Amino acid sequence: MGMMKHPGKGCDGHCCLKIENLGVKIDGSEILHDVSLHLHCGEIVALIGPNGAGKSTMIKSILGQMEHSGAISFQPAGGRSRKFRIGYVPQSPNFDPGDPISVLDLFSLCTQKAPVCFRVGKSQRETVLSCLRNVHGEGLIDKKVGALSGGELQRVLLALALEPVPDILILDEPMSGVDVEGMQTLMTMLDEIRRNFDLSILMVTHDFSMLSRFVDRAVLLKETVLTQGTPEEVLASKEFRAAFQMGGGQET
Ligand code: ADP
Ligand code: MG
């Protein structure tokens, strides 16, 4: 009791994602082994670890894109009996600066089942605007995707991942290529989203300075879970120092 800064609403701390003894082998070499992790409703959890630790591999396993051993199970938030939804925000994809596609077009392409017609209807525009409102991005609707800044693109991708609202939102290094101010904005937005919607957030990040302020729990991964706990506990752990090879007082 009372361990989480912001306990999830209505879920009594139930797990919505349970990973048990996850293992991944690629071409005979072991990438992940014995990874066990529970994600509770309403939590924001940071997945940290050095490059090549297997963070993205773990995310791909959760997304069902990676062959693995062990069990990954999902429980919809609030005991809802519908299909479990995962929202995913990738590392910044590159759009050609000359790409004529607008944010509105991108949304229409991604969220409509029917092919996009030459003119996007008025009601569709309203729908996209309301999605963008979740990330304070209404003003981006007519911008070309290739002309967006790193931070703006992340917000658009985040808005897309929230349509429809998922049970878990997963972000894999969403801050790479985003400046300090952009990171603050993104983290504040994630906190707001977590409060407004009944979802959990799992994010891969290298920005340790944000952890204490915004994250309930940190999980240190390097082939397996080396340690987990509050951000303060994990950042002060000997496992953290060893994983990032920080010697006597060295700061990186
Ligand atoms: P992280 O996201 O923590 O930086 P990754 O999950 O991307 O790490 O990669 C973990 C390890 O698995 C790395 O050593 C990487 O080279 C290897 N790996 C990942 N995907 C593949 C693949 N498709 N084929 C071969 N090796 C891979
Ligand atoms: Mg990665």
16 vs 21, 41, 78, 186, CA distance in Å? 17, 6, 9, 23
Q: Could you tell me the two tokens for 61?
A: 């396993």
Q: What is the pLDDT of residue 200?
A: 93
Q: Whose CA is nearest to atom 24 of ligand 1?
A: 26
CA of 52 to the centre of ligand 2 (A): 7
Burial 66-78 (b: 16+ CB within 10 A, else e): bebebebebbbbe
29 lines ligand 1 (CB under 6 A): no
> pTM for this structure?
0.87
**Rounded distance between C-alpha atoms, residue 97 and residue 130, angstroms:** 26
- Ligand 1 pocket: which of 24, 55, 57 to mutate (most atoms within 8 A of CB): 57
243 lines ligand 1 (CB under 6 A): no
Q: How many CB atoms lie within 10 A of CB 10?
A: 12
- Tell me the pLDDT of the chain (252 aa) as tens digits: 334 454 444 455 566 899 999 999 999 999 999 999 999 988 999 999 999 999 999 999 999 999 999 999 988 755 556 688 999 998 777 778 888 899 999 988 887 655 555 456 678 899 899 999 999 999 999 999 999 988 889 899 999 999 989 999 999 988 676 778 888 888 999 999 998 988 999 999 988 988 999 999 999 999 999 999 999 999 999 999 999 987 544 444
Contact status, residue 176 vs residue 92, Cβ threshold 8 Å? yes
Q: What is the pLDDT of residue 178?
A: 76
User: Is the CA virtual torsion 199, 106, 65, 231 positive or negative?
Assistant: negative
Q: Whose CA is nearest to atom 5 of ligand 1?
A: 54
54 lines ligand 1 (CB under 6 A): yes
- Would residue 104 be called left, alpha or beta, if left means φ above 0 and alpha means ψ between -120 and 50 degrees? alpha
User: Residue 174: is it exposed, middle or buried by C-beta count within 10 angstroms (0-12/13-18/19+)?
Assistant: buried
Q: What is the pLDDT of residue 89?
A: 92
Q: Could you tell me the two tokens for 39?
A: 């994600």
- Ligand 1 pocket: which of 31, 48, 204 to mutate (most atoms within 8 A of CB): 31
Q: What is the pLDDT of residue 145?
A: 92
